[in-house]
Amino acid sequence: MSEDDPTESPDPSPPAGFSPPPIPAFDAEAAETARERQGDLTKPPGSLGRLEDLAVALAGLTGDPRPTLADPTVVVAAADHGVVDRGVSAYPKSVTRAMLRNFAAGGTAVSAISEVVGAETLVVDAGVEGPAIEAGGPVEIVDERIGPGTDDVAAGPAMSRADAVAALSGGVRTARTRLADAGIVALGEMGIGNTTVAAALTAALTGADPDRVTGHGTGVDEETRAHKVAVVERALATNGLVDDDGGIDRDDDLDGGIDRGEEPDAGFDVGPVEVLRRVGGYEVGLLAGVAIGCAADRTPVVVDGAVSGAAALVADAVAGDVRPYLLPSHLGDEPGHAVQLDALGLEPLFDHGLRLGEGSGAALALSTYRAACRTHDRMATFAEAGIER
């Protein structure tokens, strides 16, 4: 059996499969207690709008009727992509490595935003080309390197089956060790070429047309975007993720067209780990694992833009119980982001026209989620305030 043919079933021996940890169910009792408290607080019913609903939802997720979301953390996963050599980005691959150093020095946009909202930043090297980078500043770089960047998805599979499993497993490990004390986690990323990979994953997992989910990424012109669409189409076709008529495969019996089967069936209908292997990225797989690991610990996860949105799709496809723990932040400027949010049933909190990535939008959203919980916890009830109703 040759791994060069993506339509062949992978070696069934370990580590062929990925077994997600069990994820607790939504705590309806904690949510109902929180809902009752909302009705007793010193305000007109419903006057805090969506903040009230968020506080109740977070109570159910955490199992705490008065959640605090202490120690919020933004986790930024970085990796390189072989598809960059096809001219899909305005920047060369070397920028990923340079930006990783910038993250370590605290010189990025998300570093500044995290400081404002009181969040820690954790940077993970999931597979940046070149030797491991040692932190030269205040932010630690965690080494979860799977390889020196993925292969060109337009020429064949991005990675081996073992690497796909390693990325997911590394994310779960990161969540359950490095993020164990975080009350809420925001997903961020860095990797030149990763919006191309995100578009391919989004098309494969939702059934959306590649042109609909492929954007300008780093700011390429329309001609380059059209080339980028063609590269995504070629990646899907080369990796056996289209049907005989050239359409994207989907199963209409599943939400968002996501196939949660672990192993690929005959032909092009494949499970999510296999989709990650064929057209994914190391940082995307790692963030998907982070989402799953956090959910297993009852830690809510805030999804950023199109790349972390692709990771959320992978996590949801691998472990459907993760979905309630996936929280929206902004509506990203990349067109595929709206498709992802719709597939996951998420309504964005705001739209600032962001398309930077890094977890910038998710970091901004942390203040909203924490404010929802702080008002829910700190406000007096009518009885406590001595106010008659």
Looking up tokens 């990979």 gives: 197
105, 95 contact by CB (below 8 A):
no
Q: What residues have CB less than 8 Å from 228, skipping those under 6 apart?
A: 88, 196, 199, 214, 217, 220
291, 321 contact by CB (below 8 A):
no
DSSP string, 245-309: TSPBP--TTSGGG----SS--STT---HHHHHHHH--HHHHHHHHHHHHHHHTT--EE--SHHHH
Encoded amino acid at 55, one letter:
A
Which entry of 283, 358, 384, 388 is annotated as an active-site residue? 358
- How many beta carbons lie within 10 A of that of residue 176, not counting itself? 18
**Whole-number Å distance between alpha carbons of 338 and 91:** 25
Active site residue 358: yes
**Whole-number Å distance between alpha carbons of 78 and 165:** 17
Encoded amino acid at 62, one letter:
T
Alpha helices in the chain (DSSP H): 28-40, 50-62, 94-104, 109-117, 161-177, 194-206, 210-213, 222-238, 272-279, 282-296, 306-318, 335-344, 360-378, 382-385
**Whole-number Å distance between alpha carbons of 237 and 232:** 9
Q: Which residues are catalytic?
A: 358
